Amino acid sequence: MPIDSPTVLVTGGAGFIGSNLADRLIQEGARVRILDNFSTGFRENLEEISGSFEFIEGDVADGTVVASAIKDVEIVFHEAALPSVPRSVEDPVSTHQACVEGTFNLLLAAKDAGVRRFVYAASSSAYGDQPTLPKSETMAPAPMSPYAVAKLTGEYYASAFYRVYGLETVSLRYFNVFGPRQNPSSPYSGVISRFIDALMTNTRPVIYGDGEQSRDFTFIDNVVDANLKAASSATAPGLVMNAANGERISLNSLLSTLKEITGKDIDAEYLDPRTGDVKHSQADNSLAVQTLGYKNLVGLEEGLRKTLAWWQNSRFAR
Q: What is the pLDDT, as a whole number, of residue 4?
A: 61
Give the model confidence (pLDDT) of 186-213 as tens digits: 766 799 999 999 999 999 999 999 999 9
Q: How does residue 162 score in pLDDT terms, banded at 50, 70 and 90? A: very high
> CA–CA separation, 81 vs 40, rounded Å?
8
Do residues 68 and 62 touch, judged by C-beta distance below 8 A? no
Round the CA-based radius of gyration of the chain to a whole number and report it.
Answer: 18
Give the mean pLDDT of the chain: 95
Instruction: pLDDT band for 224, please (50, 70, 90 cuts).
Output: very high
Q: Which residue range forms the structural domain that includes residue 11?
A: 7-178+217-246+282-298
Sign of CA dihedral 86, 77, 123, 294: negative
289 located within any domain? yes
**Distance, CA of 202 to chain centre:** 28
Mean pLDDT (whole number) for 128-143:
95
- The pLDDT confidence band at residue 250, using thresholds 50, 70 and 90, is very high
Whether 315 has a pLDDT exceeding 70, the answer reads yes
Residue pLDDT, tens place only, 4-37: 679 999 999 999 999 999 999 999 999 999 999 9
186 inside domain: no
- The answer to the question of residue 161 being in a domain is yes
Contact 311/190 with Cβ under 8 angstroms? no
> Is residue 86 included in any domain, yes or no?
yes
Query: Is the pLDDT at 61 greater than 70, yes or no?
Result: yes
Reduced to 3 states (helix: H, G, I; strand: E, B; else coil), residue 122 is strand
- Count of alpha carbons within 13 angstroms of residue 275, beta-carbon side: 8
pTM for this one? Answer: 0.95
Domains of the chain: total: 1
69 assigned to some structural domain: yes
Query: Is residue 316 scored above 90 in pLDDT?
Result: no
Instruction: Please say whether the beta carbons of 243 and 226 come within 8 A.
Output: yes
Q: Supply the DSSP symbol for 5.
A: S
- Residue 253 in domain: no
Cα dihedral 91, 156, 70, 64 in deg (nearest 10): -50
Distance CA 216, CA 245 (A): 6
Residue 300 sits at φ, ψ, to 5 deg, of: -60, -55
CA distances from 282 to 213, 247, 253, 300 (A): 11, 6, 15, 13
Confidence at 1, pLDDT banded by 50, 70, 90: low
Distance between CA atoms of 18 and 203, rounded to whole angstroms? 29
210 falls within a domain: no
pLDDT at 318 over 90: no
**Any idea what the CATH number is for the domain that residue 37 is in?**
3.40.50.720
Residue 235 one-letter amino acid: T
Assigned domain for 123 exists: yes
The helix-helix angle for 300-312 and 251-262 (nearest 10°) equals: 50
315 compared with 247, residue with greater pLDDT: 247
Residue pair 297/222 in contact (Cβ under 8 Å)? The answer is: yes
Alpha helix positions (H), 233-269? 251-262
Phi, psi angles (nearest 5°) of residue 119: -105, 120
Q: What is the DSSP string of 148-193?
A: HHHHHHHHHHHHHHHHHH--EEEEEEE-SEE-TT---SSTTS-HHH
